[in-house]
Structure 1
Amino acid sequence: MMISRPASPRRRVPDMRLSTLRGMGETAIITGAAGGIGAAAARRLAAAGARCVLVDRDPGVSDMAAAIGGTALVGDLTDPELSERAVAEAGDGLRLLVLNAGTNCADKDPATLDLDRYRAVVGVNQHSVTYGLRAALPVLRRGGGGSIVVTASLAALHGVEQDPIYTMTKHAVIGLVRALSGPLSREGIRLSAVCPGLVDTPLTAGARDRFQAAGIPMLSADEVAAAIEETLRSGEPGTELVVHPGRPPVRYVQAPIP
């Protein structure tokens, strides 16, 4: 449900708009950056002057980094050490963090769930977000603040029966954003989420023809990346930005608990 109501008062956080940060030597970390949304976000941030550290298990992330003058780290984000390496590579200039890596799950019935696949999906979609925050927050605090956006999904806001495990992990991510955005905002760190509908990326490539045949519209990766960049720069702490094809992005506001 999307409803409108006045936003609750918040402590003012440092202005992190594009015009403020250009030329200040900021560094951004983007996970899941070999293609799709992560690559599109990296291109946008690099064009705005950020030094980018790109992280992905796909070795193609090295080509992406070379194309934008960034740095690539290839590895498995379910290992917390990779997030620590990314933060070390970013150094004290780290100001922007895009926790974008994600994957879906083929299993619909828990009774026949492949446990190795389950652990892998939860590791990428859920644990790697926590690992990224754990590694980055000390640097952002030392630097006086920063901005973090997690790529969630419409599946974070309602149940998607076609992929219940993916839905579970995205709900967990939104729960983390809701719980941490207030405390972090008081330290000058913005934490938000972008929740897109279907996006035309390598993750959905196998079903693209079916979506098109059914007349289901899809977002481009760059449309979602634009929403990520805008949220990084000027979004309110705790923003859950819903992105639908053909519509302006809109902030999702939870209904009050009865």
Structure 2
Amino acid sequence: MSARGGAVEFSGKVALVTGAANGIGAGVARRLAAAGASVVVADVDDVQGKAVADEVNGVFVHCDVSDPRQSEVAVATAVERFGGLDFAVLNAGIGTGFGLGDDFDAERYRKVMGINLDGVVYGVHAALAALKKRGGGRIVATASMAGLMAMPMDPLYGANKAAVVGLVRGLGPVLAADGVTVNAVCPSFADTAIITGFKATLESAGMPVMSVDDVVDAFVAVLRDGKAGECWFVQAGRPSAPFTFPNPPGPRTATGERVALGRDPLITKEN
């Protein structure tokens, strides 16, 4: 049990991890398997994905998350091989690497949005029925600090990660009614393939680059202990925790009273 209460353990559970052939996804798969979970490793990298699945005594499934049918197959594999699904870690993602000027690439844009945003939408949709059959479960999506703050060096990446944050916040109270907890993990720069092209620039600017293990620690904490709709930040030098969103200006009645359409527990003040 953690200090926040209601902690979830992993022994005997079944987890689907997308983007699990490398980096954060592989780290999460290894950590969950070491804690006693059965893991479905889903990725488009067949060679490395199978290697990770063999390492964790799990099963590999080829999965392009931008195709909703492939997410459905991944969930079905978990159910067929291990009897159900308790956790869906929707981690697959790629960098953008272009802007909206002369370097804009419409085909690449659709691919990036298809993986980073649509992949989460399709993954949630595919997993829900299986999670509900188990009496509930947990969904964790990989967002980014770029979804919580401006990302001038890659605004399109910031846009799709901000969309994941908004999706998780909106789904949180809805899915909680069915016993499904949905969260996002929002890491800063971690030592994965996404930052390969600018890692040296980050380091020369003094920006800490976190290890994959640091980010995996946060995923484990969220899977154990996350509350509905929380989006946890992950930054070097400070403990991970749910981000507290400021409250935007809300509608007022003719007499000046604030209209309440449902309170978000992560908001700090009334406006």
Among residues 109, 113, 136, which one is paired with 2:104 in the alignment?
113
Mapped pair 1:187 → 2:175:
no
Structure 1 residue 178: deviation in Å?
0.9
With normalisation by structure 1, the TM-score equals: 0.90
* Structure 2 counterpart of 1:152, one-letter code: A
3-state secondary structure, aligned to 2:73: helix
1:165-219 per-position Cα deviation (integer Å, ceiling 9, x unaligned): 1111111111111111001111111001111100111111222222222221011
The structure with more radius of gyration: 2
Is 1:67 aligned to residue 58 of structure 2? no
2:27 is aligned with what amino acid?
A: A
**Aligned partners of 2:63 and 2:71 also within 8 Å:** no
Which of 221, 227, 231 is the equivalent residue of 2:222?
231
Query: 2:37 matched to which residue of 1?
Result: 50
1:57 Cα offset (Å): 1.1
3-state DSSP of counterpart to 1:30 = strand
Contact 1:196 1:224 in 2 (8 A): yes
Contact 1:108 1:161 (8 Å CA) reproduced:
no
**Structure 2: gaps (5+ residues):** 250-271
Give me the whole-angstrom Cα distance separating, in 2, the residues matched to 1:96 and 1:70. Answer: 14
SS in 2 for 1:190: strand
Q: TM-score, normalised by structure 2?
A: 0.85
Report deviation, 1:229. 1.2
Instruction: Provide structure 1 residue ranges, at least 5 long, that are not aligned to the other structure.
Output: 1-11
Structure 2 equivalent of residue 5 of structure 1? none
For the aligned residue pairs, the C-alpha RMSD in angstroms reads 1.6
Deviation at residue 16 of structure 1 after TM alignment:
5.3
1:114-193 aligned at under 5 Å gives the runs 114-193=105-184
2:56 alignment partner AA: I
Partner of 2:256: none
Q: What residue number does 1:6 align with? A: none
* CA-CA distance at 1:110 after TM superposition: 4.6
Structure 1: distance between partners of 2:174 and 2:66: 26
Q: How many residues align?
A: 242
CA distance in 1, matches of 2:84, 2:13: 5
- Aligned mates of 2:133, 2:238 — CA distance in 1: 38
1:78 aligns with 2:66: yes
Q: Choose which of 231, 248, 259 in structure 2 pairs with 1:257.
A: 248
What is the rounded CA distance, in whole Å, between the counterparts of 2:113 and 2:175 in structure 1?
Answer: 24
CA-to-aligned-CA distance 1:210-240 (integer Å, 9 cap, x gap): 2222221011111111111111111111111
- Cα distance in 2, alignment partners of residues 232 and 239 from structure 1: 11
The answer on whether the counterparts of 2:116 and 2:160 sit within 8 Å (CA) in structure 1 is yes
Please name the residue that 1:7 is paired with: none
Question: Which residue is equivalent to 1:41?
Answer: 28
For residues 36 and 173 of structure 1, what CA distance do their matches in structure 2 show? 20
- 2:187 corresponds, among 196, 201, 223, to 196
The reply to whether residue 98 of structure 1 matches residue 89 of structure 2 is yes
SS of residue paired to 2:194: coil
Q: Which amino acid aligns with 2:240?
A: P
Measure the CA separation in 2 of the matches of 1:143 and 1:213. Answer: 48
Does the CA-based 8 Å contact 1:126-1:173 persist in structure 2? yes
CA distance in 2, matches of 1:171, 1:110: 21
